Amino acid sequence: MDETEIRRLSVGHVFSILAVVFSLCIPPLFLDNFSLLETHVTWLCICSACVAAVNVILLLTLKPNPSSKRISFGTKVNKFSKSCIYFLISCLLFHGIIVLYGAPLVESVPETFIFSVLLSSLTTSRCLCILGPNFPAWVRVFSRDGAMSVWDHSLQITTVCSVVGAWLGAFPIPLDWDRPWQVWPISCSLGATFGYMCGLLLAPAWIYWNRKKLTYKSR
Amino acid sequence: MRVGSSVLACCCLLLQLLGLALFLRGFFPVPVRSQSRKNSVSDIPSEPSAGAKSNWTALPSPLFKKTVIFLIDAFRQDFVFGPKGKMHMPYMTEMVEKGTTHSFIAKATAPTVTMPRIKALTTGSIPGFIDIIMNLNSQELLDDNLIWQAKQAGRRIVFYGDDTWIRLFPKHFVEHDGTTSFFVSDFTEVDYNVTRHLDNVLSRNDWDILILHYLGLDHIGHLTGPHSHLVGPKLFEMDNVLKKIHTSLMVKEEDGSLPSLIVVCGDHGMSETGSHGGSSDEEIETPLLLISSSFERKGEPAKAPDILQQTDLAPTLAIGLGLPIPRNSLGTLIHPVIEQKTMREQLRYFHLNGYQLSTLLRENVESSEKDVGFEQFKKAEKSHGNWIKLYLEGNTSEVLTNLGRKVLKQYIEALMKLSSSLSKQVAEYDMYSMTVGAIITLEILFLLLLSVPNALCSRAEFEVPLSSPFFSLLFYLLCLVLAAIHVIVCTSTENVCFFCSISWVMAIGIMTLMSALCCIILSTFGKMLSNAKSPNKRPDSVSLWSELDVILLMGTLGHVLSMGASSFIEEEHQTWYFLVNTLCLALAQNMCRKYFLVKKGNPIDLATHKRTDNEGAYIKEIYDMHKKEMREERLPILSRFVKDHEKWIALSSPWAILICCRLLRSLNQTGVQWIHRPDFGHWLTSSEHKAELSFLVAVSLVMIFILIQGRCSFVSKVALAFGLLGVYSYRAAIGHVLYPWQQSTKEISKGITEARFVYIFVLGILITGIKDLIKSQVIITDSKAKSVGLWEVYCGLVLLAALLFRPHNLAVLVFCLLIQSTLTMFIWKILKYDAAQVTLMHYWFGQAFFFFQGNSNTISTVDVSAGFVGLDNYIEVPAVFLTVFTTYSGPLLWSIHLLCYLNSESSRLSTSIAHGCYCYAIIRSLPVTIYIILITVLRYHLFIWSVFSPKLLYEVIHLLISVFVCLFFTAVDKNQMAKSDV
Ligand SMILES: [Zn+2]
Ligand SMILES: [Zn+2]
């Protein structure tokens, strides 16, 4: 088990966590009356942009998916545009799933959509960065015993954590406490972000803990 | 003794039902009051006089000559005091503002249903929660009540209105005309039936008390809610009735004679959706207007009405009519009513009220002398005596008046305290019976859980260790200990305890059962431990759990735990919708993984590859089976299409189910917080959209026929078609839908002939099905008859549901059938789940459909009108059966479908029905058991009566239904066993 790989992974995760923290701390300096609960949509936009940007930067610097053969510029552009389309589709898909879960169909569409964008940047953007726009590979990673590298494992853990966080975040909504954070979609997006950060912290620890057991086949 | 899993499950559920019955008997307080005794004139205490000789020992004479009780069902407080009242009830508003009236807001208690409220108004007591069940089955009121007292005193009572009164007080009225409240769709005839008698009665002089109970407003509420355009005219009509009564009574009042009294009140309010039964402010706050020429206004401007309890009316009316106060009354006299009387009289009235309350307290509370209210009352009584002494001595100074006022104040305070400690007394729990019931239930749950490994093994059998417990020392010891506890508890307790009052043979039987169960559990547990220690351990048993298992298990447990919060009970539908959605997404992921991993040919290791190959072969085999079935039931083009695109259909089917669920969710808003949101159901049932509704109903009926006819025999197919036609004509007859050639509804009938026509076909199909089942038992080789028979039973139930559902809910039925067939055809057979998983999924869907139907955990959503389909008048047994069937048809249809599916599976795995039955028993007994423990812990919660108790009733009835379902499972499974033996 290559320890340097784990170290690189940990560095990447620290940057991802910093991105979320950054989206919380920096905007109040520039924007008037910014707060997490009242201007939630703004925060959602900033947070998803930060997370996505950091993911792209990490892709370029850490190169989790090194390939031996040279890729031509054309393929790169092709890949990039494909990724963009995948990201858009995932946003729409998340939106659809959220509506199926019972979010209002007509009212508060912007909130729902921006929440699905956040979910996409927490999950899909990482998938795109690590696996590329390759659907069968995604299915493989998210199956039992499908992970083939440290990055796959971290991807599994963070994605599952974010989705489960969002899922659990929906539970307080029916309670009749009348708290500001019970308003749609605040509890869900907070849950998703919290789950994402937990996943980021958890993944390197878990991989380090199980490094003896994890044997990946060479590609 | 070896028993099969399904037999074990049945026995366990039956025993659990026994435990639950004990628990319920302890939980729902049976009113602890002197049932048979009634206050009589001789019980009246004389005036306290501190030694002096008082001459006033008799009952005070009445204050009013004629009394009219004008009860408007579901009369909400803001219909008088709010803007609606100002607009639509000019006469009443004028009376409230300047007339000789006293106006109050009277608070009713939950359950806000008509019969308990009538009882509260006439007896002054708070009827137990259990009265809600009796609401459908009202019998004569035996408690001491005003009507009985009035009849004893020779008053002539005339009654018009809701016939609940006539059932409660048979032979009490000299003249009556009852109208039934069950045909909710009629709101003019019911009131006309009351009003048409008015002119006649008001012109006569041969009555003392007139009671009018108007139902129209309640029916409007049930139909269209409190903001409908029908409410205004109805209120105006009521206002006119009041004007008529008031003017004619005014005319008759002569000088010198006693004045008359008009009481305008409501039995309960109306929630924002128009129903009632719960305890929201809109449901419990009712107006109370007392109108009499003897009430004088001291020129003060109209202020906001005071709030008092509904029970306060009974003692006030008793005093006003010169009757003894009903013995079990918890109310306190409404002071403004008697304010114009002399001080001596006022004190006398309060003394009577206080005496009655303290007697009631003494009868029901052991240490009543220590009660604060009781002490205060004794003190007030003493100062009352002193006051009388002074008064009789001829003292008439200012000091006396002031002293009198002080005594009066003491009395009022004492009455409040007495009343509140009595109300608390009503909510006492019989903890001993509750504990015994809970222990039995808990033991059964443990037994079920401990025998999971045995019962779900391939033999589906369980070795019940009977001999060892019965001869063990522990068993006898336990019996002895329990008997000792029983003796100690029953001799020491002050409160009435049900378990102590049953015969000792039964008590000993139950205690033996408890200790035997305990020993069985212990020996099973011991055996499991010794098995676990033995060397042949399977190392990889934990990792066999798939994500779906985790979701199913966590979801079920999470739901059970969520029942500890009142909001989660109120919004339980959200939990189930959420869980079912998650389940569908998990199915979609499983499906994706199956097809894409197989297609890619990307073997992770060899074993998986081999397995997928096997699965591929299996799918082919399944598919062949399907093909055979489909050739019989579908067009060849369709089947070819299905064959060619099976992968894509299978992949998209979870999504189709998701979309169906989302549509159903917006059909009926339910719960508490979001019930006001507009939904399709209301849109469809509003009178402007009758054409759309007719179209929907017709399409739904056709769809139902297409979806379920395939596996029936020819006879039942025909019967089904006629039955569904009958359903449409029934709907048309009662005016829900239109025929295409019909422009508007002309005459509305009760549709009795049409409904009975459908019942005949339902019975026909059911009997054919059962006949086939019996045939399959007798002729052992005939396995096809069994599946046909099961399916016919299922069809019969679907047809019955189609008849009984609210018209727009036919869509729910169609989606139910659609989802069931999709799941069977494209998901379960392809993904090859085992019986336990399929049972859990069925249960989840069943629960979701319970709420999709528009049910909730409050009593007010029960569709009582379903119990009167095809019946001329109220007949208890069929009405209760039909109502329960309609309410639980979602879970019931899903469980019967589960049986059909498992039966078709049993060719592959002969134990699947036994496994399914066992899982079903566990999944039903788990929530019930946990819930009764939760509810015991939370018994002093604020919402115990409004939220937790209705849910308990729902759970218990659901368990009762599950027992029947399990028995059916076992009966079918027995046949299977017999067949495999031969
Ligand atoms: Zn009523
Ligand atoms: Zn009603």
Contact B597 A140 (CB under 8 A): yes
Could you report the per-residue pLDDT of B396-449, keeping only the tens digit for each? Answer: 778 888 888 888 899 999 998 888 877 766 656 788 889 999 999 999 999 999
Cα B276 to averaged position of ligand 2 atoms, centre (Å): 6
Q: What is the mean pLDDT of residues B100-107?
A: 89
Phi/psi of residue B860, each to 5°? -65, -15
C-alpha to C-alpha distance for B903 and B392, rounded to whole angstroms: 90
Cα B267 to averaged position of ligand 1 atoms, centre (Å): 6
Assess contact for B845 and B552: CB atoms under 8 A: no
pLDDT of residue A144: 67
C-alpha to C-alpha distance for B979 and B781, rounded to whole angstroms: 8
Q: Is the pLDDT of residue A1 over 60?
A: no
Whole-prediction pTM: 0.77
- Residue matched to tokens 């001789």: B42
The answer as to whether A216 is a domain residue is no
Interface test with B, best of A100, A107, A142 (most B CBs within 10 A): A100
pLDDT of residue B32: 47
- Nearest CB among B546, B604, B673 relative to A146 is that of B604
In the predicted model, what is the mean pLDDT of chain B? 83
Q: Which ligand is the nearest neighbour of the Cα of B187?
A: 2
Sequence letter at residue B892: L
Q: Which ligand is the nearest neighbour of the Cα of B266?
A: 1
Q: Is the pLDDT of residue B344 over 90?
A: no
B381-395 burial code (b ≥16 CB/10 A, e <16) = bebbbbbbbbbbeee
Interface test with B, best of A99, A101, A163 (most B CBs within 10 A): A101
pLDDT of residue B51: 67
The answer as to whether A219 is a domain residue is no
C-alpha to C-alpha distance for B86 and B97, rounded to whole angstroms: 11
- A104 vs B572, which has greater pLDDT? B572
* Residue A218 banded pLDDT, cuts 50, 70, 90: very low
- Residues in chain B with CB shorter than 8 Å from the CB of A145 are 604
Which residues are CB-contacts of A157 (< 8 A; sequence separation ≥ 6)?
Answer: A199, A202, A203, A206
CB proximity A209 to B under 8 Å: no
- Nearest CB among A101, A135, A143 relative to B581 is that of A101
Counting the structural domains of chain A, the total is 1
Contact B589 A173 (CB under 8 A): no
What is the token pair recorded at B726? 């009958």
- Chain B residues with a Cβ under 8 Å from any Cβ in chain A: 546-547, 565, 567-568, 570-571, 574-575, 577-578, 581-582, 585, 589, 592-593, 596-597, 600, 602, 604, 658-659, 661-662, 665-666, 671, 673
- Residues in chain B with CB shorter than 8 Å from the CB of A167 are 582
* Residue B496 banded pLDDT, cuts 50, 70, 90: low
- Residues in chain A with CB shorter than 8 Å from the CB of B547 are 144
- Residues in chain A with CB shorter than 8 Å from the CB of B596 are 135-136, 139
Contact A100 B568 (CB under 8 A): no
Q: What is the mean pLDDT of residues B130-146?
A: 65
Phi/psi of residue B914, each to 5°? -60, -45
C-alpha to C-alpha distance for B569 and B952, rounded to whole angstroms: 10
pLDDT of residue B605: 41
Q: Is the pLDDT of residue B15 over 50?
A: yes
Tell me how close the Cα of B659 comes to any Cα of chain A, in angstroms: 7
Nearest CA in chain B to A176: B567
pLDDT of residue B619: 55
pLDDT of residue B599: 45
- Residues in chain B with CB shorter than 8 Å from the CB of A92 are none
Cα distances (angstroms) measured from residue B748 to each of B186, B744, B756: 10, 11, 17
Interface test with B, best of A142, A143, A144 (most B CBs within 10 A): A143
- Residues in chain B with CB shorter than 8 Å from the CB of A174 are 567-568, 570-571, 574-575, 671, 673
pLDDT of residue B53: 67
- B464 vs B210, which has greater pLDDT? B210
CB proximity A28 to B under 8 Å: no
pLDDT of residue B337: 87
What sign does the dihedral B211-B212-B215-B218 (CA atoms) show? negative
The answer as to whether A131 is a domain residue is yes
Q: Is the pLDDT of residue B700 over 90?
A: yes
Q: Are strands B67-72 and B157-162 parallel, antiparallel or unpaired?
A: unpaired
pLDDT of residue A136: 77
pLDDT of residue A95: 92
pLDDT of residue A56: 86
Long-range contacts of B784-789 (CB under 8 A, 24+ apart): B786/B903, B786/B972, B786/B975, B787/B711, B787/B900, B787/B903, B787/B904, B788/B711, B788/B712, B788/B713
Could you report the per-residue pLDDT of A141-160, keeping only the tens digit for each? Answer: 877 667 777 888 888 889 99
* Residue B606 banded pLDDT, cuts 50, 70, 90: very low
B254-283 burial code (b ≥16 CB/10 A, e <16) = eeeeebbbbbbbbbbbbbebbbbbbbbebb
The answer as to whether A47 is a domain residue is yes
Cα B220 to averaged position of ligand 2 atoms, centre (Å): 9
C-alpha to C-alpha distance for B635 and B971, rounded to whole angstroms: 36
CB proximity A92 to B under 8 Å: no
pLDDT of residue B577: 92
Cα distances (angstroms) measured from residue B455 to each of B466, B539, B549, B550: 17, 21, 18, 20
Q: Are strands B285-292 and B101-107 parallel, antiparallel or unpaired?
A: antiparallel
Contact B568 A174 (CB under 8 A): yes
Q: What is the mean pLDDT of residues B832-840?
A: 87
Q: Is the pLDDT of residue B36 over 80?
A: no
The answer as to whether A214 is a domain residue is no
Interface test with B, best of A138, A139, A152, A179 (most B CBs within 10 A): A139
Cα B184 to averaged position of ligand 2 atoms, centre (Å): 8
Long-range contacts of B671-676 (CB under 8 A, 24+ apart): B671/A174, B671/B570, B671/B571, B671/B572, B671/B573, B671/B574, B671/B856, B672/B570, B672/B571, B672/B856, B672/B858, B673/A174, B673/A176, B673/B570, B673/B571, B675/B272, B675/B273, B675/B856, B676/B272, B676/B273
Q: Is the pLDDT of residue B301 over 80?
A: no
- Residues in chain B with CB shorter than 8 Å from the CB of A183 are none
Assess contact for B448 and B925: CB atoms under 8 A: yes
- Nearest CB among B546, B571, B581 relative to A100 is that of B581
- Residues in chain B with CB shorter than 8 Å from the CB of A100 are 581, 658-659, 661-662
pLDDT of residue B933: 93
C-alpha to C-alpha distance for B512 and B974, rounded to whole angstroms: 29
Tell me how close the Cα of B597 comes to any Cα of chain A, in angstroms: 7
pLDDT of residue A93: 92
Q: What is the mean pLDDT of residues B822-843?
A: 87
Nearest CA in chain B to A170: B578
Cα B211 to averaged position of ligand 1 atoms, centre (Å): 15
At B977 the three-state DSSP class reads helix
Which residues are CB-contacts of B746 (< 8 A; sequence separation ≥ 6)?
Answer: none
Element (H, E) at B161: strand B157-162
* Residue B637 banded pLDDT, cuts 50, 70, 90: low
Assess contact for B654 and B591: CB atoms under 8 A: yes
Phi/psi of residue B786, each to 5°? -65, -45
pLDDT of residue A72: 76
* Residue B628 banded pLDDT, cuts 50, 70, 90: low
Tell me how close the Cα of A15 comes to any Cα of chain B, in angstroms: 31
pLDDT of residue A215: 63
Contact B604 A102 (CB under 8 A): no
The answer as to whether A59 is a domain residue is yes
Q: Is the pLDDT of residue B220 over 60?
A: yes
Q: What is the mean pLDDT of residues B688-708?
A: 89
The answer as to whether A190 is a domain residue is yes
Q: What is the mean pLDDT of residues B753-778?
A: 89
Out of B84-88, B327-331, B889-893, the most confident range is B889-893
Q: What is the mean pLDDT of residues B848-876?
A: 83
Cα B127 to averaged position of ligand 2 atoms, centre (Å): 18
Q: Is the pLDDT of residue A170 over 50?
A: yes
Cis, bond preceding A64 (omega within 30 deg of 0): no
**CA B551 to chain CA centroid, nearest Å:** 31
- B272 vs A168, which has greater pLDDT? A168
Tell me how close the Cα of A186 comes to any Cα of chain B, in angstroms: 18
Cα B283 to averaged position of ligand 1 atoms, centre (Å): 10
Interface test with A, best of B557, B573, B594, B596 (most A CBs within 10 A): B596
- Nearest CB among A99, A146, A174 relative to B567 is that of A174
Could you report the per-residue pLDDT of A72-120, keeping only the tens digit for each? Answer: 788 888 888 888 999 999 999 999 999 988 888 888 888 899 999 999 9
- Residues in chain A with CB shorter than 8 Å from the CB of B546 are 144
Could you report the per-residue pLDDT of B530-559, keeping only the tens digit for each? Answer: 877 765 544 444 456 778 888 999 999 999
Tell me how close the Cα of A101 comes to any Cα of chain B, in angstroms: 6
Report the percentage of chain B scoring pLDDT > 70. Answer: 86
Q: Is the pLDDT of residue B756 over 60?
A: yes
* Residue B703 banded pLDDT, cuts 50, 70, 90: very high
* Residue B263 banded pLDDT, cuts 50, 70, 90: very high
**Interface size, chain A vs chain B, as Cβ–Cβ contacts under 8 Å:** 55
**CA B831 to chain CA centroid, nearest Å:** 39
What is the domain range of residue A112? 3-64+74-209
Q: What is the mean pLDDT of residues B470-499?
A: 82
Nearest CA in chain B to A139: B593
Out of A60-64, B176-180, B950-954, the most confident range is B950-954
pLDDT of residue B624: 58
Could you report the per-residue pLDDT of B358-410, keeping only the tens digit for each? Answer: 888 887 776 677 778 888 888 888 888 888 888 888 777 788 888 888 888 99
The answer as to whether A178 is a domain residue is yes
ipTM reported for the complex, 2 dp: 0.89
Cα B165 to averaged position of ligand 2 atoms, centre (Å): 15
Interface test with A, best of B546, B592, B819 (most A CBs within 10 A): B592
Q: Which ligand is the nearest neighbour of the Cα of B864?
A: 2
What sign does the dihedral B236-B239-B245-B248 (CA atoms) show? negative
Out of A6-10, B613-617, B705-709, B782-786, the most confident range is B705-709
Longest dimension (CA), chain B: 113
Contact A174 B600 (CB under 8 A): no
Could you report the per-residue pLDDT of B643-679, keeping only the tens digit for each? Answer: 777 788 888 889 999 999 999 988 888 887 777 778 8
Contact B593 A143 (CB under 8 A): yes
